Amino acid sequence: MNKIPLAVPHMSGEEQKYIQQAFDTNWIAPLGPHVNQFEANLAMYTGAADVAVTNSGTSAIHLALTLLNIQSGDTVFCSTFTFVASINPVLYMGAVPVFIDSETDTWGMSPIALSKALKDAASKNKLPKAIIVVHLYGQSCKMDEIMALANRYDVPVIEDAAESLGSTYKGRKLGTIGTFGIYSFNGNKIITTSGGGALVSNDVSQIEKARYLSSQAKEEAPYYSHSEVGFNYRLSNVLAGIGIAQLEVLEERIAKKRAIFEAYEAAFENNSKICFLSEWQETFNNRWLTTVLFEKNSPEKMMQQLAERGIESRRLWKPMHRQPLFQDVAYYSENREGSNADILFKKGLCLPSGTQLTDKKIDYVCKVLREISK
C-alpha cells in the first residue's frame, strides 16, 4: 500500500475555472474581484459582519493585535497548547506572552487557569491587553466561561480558529464570538488557498482598517502617501479564486472529516487503551484532524511504528511553555498537581485525516494501530 499521509490539499476541480478567469481578465495583481468575492462569501458563511483575507493566518493575528493597539511591554494571555504561529505575532509587537493551560474536556484554554491568571494580573495592576484562545483540532473552547472572564476584566478576545473553519459553539461559527477571529488556509487545513488566512469581526470599521493596514497603509491620494506603518499582508487575487472554489465544497469536506473520525472511533469503541477527543456539549467539531490519546503506549514509539508501516502521523502540539523560545515566560496551570497541556502532549497523536482517505486505508490504519497498541 502507498504511504498514507496525515493530510494533504484536496482540490475540487473547480479551482482552475476561477484561476483562468483571473488570467483571462489579467487580474494577476494582488487585489481584484476574486478577493472581494472570497471575502463576501466567507462573511456570508461565517455570519461575521466583515472579513479581510490575508496571506496567512499569522498575518491575520498580527493585524488583530495591531488593531487592538498592543504596545511593546504589554502582556497577551495565550493558550499554551498550540502551534507557535499563534504566539509569534505577540513577539512581533514587542509584547510579552503569558501562557494558560488547557482543560481536559475540549483541550482548549482552561477557564480555571485563565481566572487565576487574570486575578493575579489585576492584583498587580497589569491586566493583559488581549487574550488569544485557540480552537484546537476543530473543537471549540468553552467560550461562555472565557468570554465571561474577558468581559469581567474588560479584555478583548482573539479567536484563533485556524484549524476550525466550519465548527460551531452553540450555533455560532467559531471566530465570530470574540472581538476578532482568524482562519488559516494553509495547505493542510480543511480548505486551502495554498497559503492564506482571514481576519473576521463584527466591527466593519475594524476590518476596513485591517484592509488599509494590510495594503501598506496606502492613503487615498493621487500619489503614494503614508501616515502609519503598514504591511504587505493581502491575499492575491489568483489565490482568492482557489479559495472561492474551496469554500464551495467546505461542507463536503467537513462531512468527510467527521466520517473519518467516526470510523476510527467505532473501530476502537471497546479499546480502553485509546481514547478520542469528544465533541463538547452544544458544539460542532469539523474534525480537522482525528486525534487520539494512548493510555499506556508512548506516542513517539507509536508514531515510529506507524511510519514503518507507511502511515504518517504527528504528535500533538508541544506546549509553548515547554519551548526553548519561551523558557522564561510565565505559565498558569489549571491544577497544582500538574499541567494538562503537558499530559496531552505526552499521550497524544494525530492520525491520517485527509479527505481523500478511502475506507480501505482507514481499515489499514486501524489494523496497524491494533497490532502495535497491544
The residues annotated with a catalytic role in the active site are 189
Number of C-beta neighbours around residue 171 at 10 A: 9
Look up residue 37 and give its three cell numbers.
468575492
Look at residues 148, 147, 184, 146 and name the one whose alpha carbon lies nearest to residue 163.
184
Q: Identify whether the C-beta of residue 167 lies closer than 8 Å to the C-beta of residue 135.
A: yes
Q: In b/e form, how buried is each residue of 43-80, taking b as 16+ CB within 10 angstroms?
A: beebebebbbbbbbbbbbbbbbbbbbebeeebbbbbbb
Measured CA to CA, the distance from residue 237 to residue 28 in angstroms comes to: 6
Rounded Cα distance, 61 and 85, in Å: 9
The length of the chain is 374
**Bridge partners, residue 76, by sequence:** 97, 130
Question: β-strands 50-54, 75-79: how paired?
Answer: unpaired
Burial 318-330 (b: 16+ CB within 10 A, else e): bbbbbeeebeebb
Residues paired with 350 in a beta bridge = 291, 314
How many Cβ atoms from other residues are within 10 Å of residue 225's Cβ? 10
